[in-house]
Amino acid sequence: MKGWVLSVIATVLIVALLSLILPSGRTSKVIKSVLNIIVILVIIQPLLVLDVNNFTVNNLFDSEDFSYQYDYLEYVENVKLDSYGEEIVNILSDLGIKIEKSELYIITDGEADGFPTVKKIVINLENAVINTDTEHIDIIEAITDKLTKHFGLDPGAVEIHE
């Protein structure tokens, strides 16, 4: 690939220099046309070499050229987990419960595509502040109901410790 790019650049530069040196007239038009055809052939040269019968997209790229950027995937997963934590804190806040994200444990599917989905949520309510101004509700049932609906989980996937 690198060699092809260098050959295209070198050909274009040589053609440009020759075009400047050529005298004007009918002969120069013919010579410029030939030089332009040479440039086009150099550009499409990789396509002429392809074996159409055994062509696959994988043949275009070396497997060594591509690899997962695990640091970036881990970063994306952490950002997504952080956003899940914010969502849970906001849902609990709507129920009158103030809790820190450090009191949450979110278990994901561990997919490597960078977009983990929630499989289980564990909440520790020992240090949570529950607003007493709200009406009397079964807080465990309310939390479980809200989180299962929001994340599409089974009720058993939400575990709450008091």
Mind listing the pLDDT tens digit for each residue in 133-158? 666 677 888 888 888 898 888 888 88
Residue 106: per-residue pLDDT: 84
Please state the domain extents for the chain.
2-65, 70-161
Is it true that domain 70-161 has CATH number 3.30.420?
Answer: no
Predicted TM-score (pTM) of this structure: 0.53
Nearest to 146 by CA among 96, 109, 111, 79: 96
Mind listing the pLDDT tens digit for each residue in 20-33? 888 777 888 888 88
Question: For the chain, first and last CA: distance in Å?
Answer: 62
The CA–CA distances, whole Å, from 112 to 44, 73, 88, 92 equal 38, 7, 23, 29
- Which one-letter DSSP state was computed for residue 108? E
